[in-house]
Amino acid sequence: MSSKSLPILPGATLGILGGGQLGRMFTIAARTMGYKVMVLDPDASSPAGQMADVHLKANYADEAALQQLGGACAAVTTEFENVPAASLIALAKYCRVSPGAEAVAIVQDRSHEKSWLAQNGFATAPFALVYGEGDLDEALAETGTPALLKVARFGYDGKGQARVNTREEARAAFGEFGDQPCVLEGFVKLESEVSVVLARSDAGECRLFPVAENRHDNGILDVSIVPARVPESLAGQARSMARAVADKLGYVGVMAVEFFVAGGQLMVNEIAPRPHNSGHYTLDACVTDQFEQQVRALCGLPLGDTRLMSPVVMVNILGDRWHDGGPHWDALLAHPAIKLHLYGKEAARPGRKMGHFNVLDADPAAALLLAEQMRDAL
């Protein structure tokens, strides 16, 4: 029997590369289930490190730290996609690693991701690859303007991207990004944005969470509404497409697929090889949340029930709220159907995700109304 087919049971040590809020919530889920957790993150004040049994304060490519992590852990996962693929390959010599380096390498680079999606028949917004300034004219001809120029790697939450309306703006933005490889994406007339978080096992078992409808502000997720206010046929199509993406990648673990809805059709926007901000509603509204599911997938356990127990709205809390005496937690905590989650980050900065809250109500419209009122009250 292969080691992959043997479940890893409580008492074992699990490792995670990355110590932000996603790692923190994974660590809480794992420790609640009886596992020990070792976090590798260079930040001494890492939110996940605060909760872990062991915090290795080292770079993600540090050979000695990787050897220590791999030697101590029965399995290792990641909380963000920019972990060096070489580190995942190195860890796989010691223990089980999920997701695998091959899948992460595809989705951590926008140019690879977009090309892979197109090659496998998944609809996307118009795009063109830009490797040098000389590629910009042809790329603009393909996508039209306005368009979004995005760095191929290390961009997130609106960072590393610029809206361009002319050839001159595109050249200026490319220069500001240090002439690094980019993807130019054409605009589509958006009706809404939705996402699907799912988990897939070694054996190909797949469990999908309900579809979330997402609203963004300045490129950062602001609100997720579940169930999404889209036709059931479209929600079913999103779930089927998300599963097809995971199957094609041979993915093992938790992942999210973000979609644009335009002209009643779905287009894949991005793939995240990890739990996702738009899946935070699962912490309070589903039988199994996305972080317990990450533990289960990593450990080779049967995947948990993803049933939605209540309509829910998730609201991000950004560092912008830490001014004028705020945030006003008393207003928020006065409501018994609101669940607050703070991430233990020391410094509040504009645009930095400091926490979130979930509003549960049997009436989806009432949940959204209270969520919007409390977002403003903070």
Q: What residue spans define the domains of the chain?
A: 3-97, 126-186, 192-377
Hey, what amino acid is at 283?
L
- pLDDT > 90 in the chain, percent: 83
CA distance 294 to 213: 22
Judge whether residue 3 has pLDDT over 70.
no
Distances in Å between the Cα of 234 and the Cα atoms of 117, 195, 265, 312 are: 19, 12, 8, 19
Please give the mean pLDDT across all residues of the chain: 94
Record the tokens describing residue 49, joined without a space: 């490190």
Flag the least confident range among 70-79, 148-157, 296-305, 317-326.
148-157
Q: What is the CATH number of domain 3-97?
A: 3.40.50.20
Contact (Cβ atoms closer than 8 angstroms) between residue 143 and residue 127: yes
Torsion of CA 170, 174, 177, 182, to 10 degrees: 100
The CATH homologous superfamily of the domain defined by 192-377: ATP-grasp fold, B domain (3.30.470.20)
Q: 260-272: b or e for each residue (b if 16 or more CB lie within 10 Å)?
A: bbbeeebbbbbbb
Peptide bond into 126 cis (omega under 30): no
pLDDT band, very low/low/confident/very high, at 42 (cuts 50, 70, 90): very high
pLDDT band, very low/low/confident/very high, at 2 (cuts 50, 70, 90): very low
Judge whether residue 153 has pLDDT over 90.
no
State the DSSP H helix or E strand holding residue 207, giving kind and residue range, or none if neither.
strand 206-208
Average confidence (pLDDT) over 156-184:
86
Domain 126-186, classified CATH 3.40.50.300, yes or no: no
Flag the least confident range among 168-177, 290-299, 357-366.
168-177
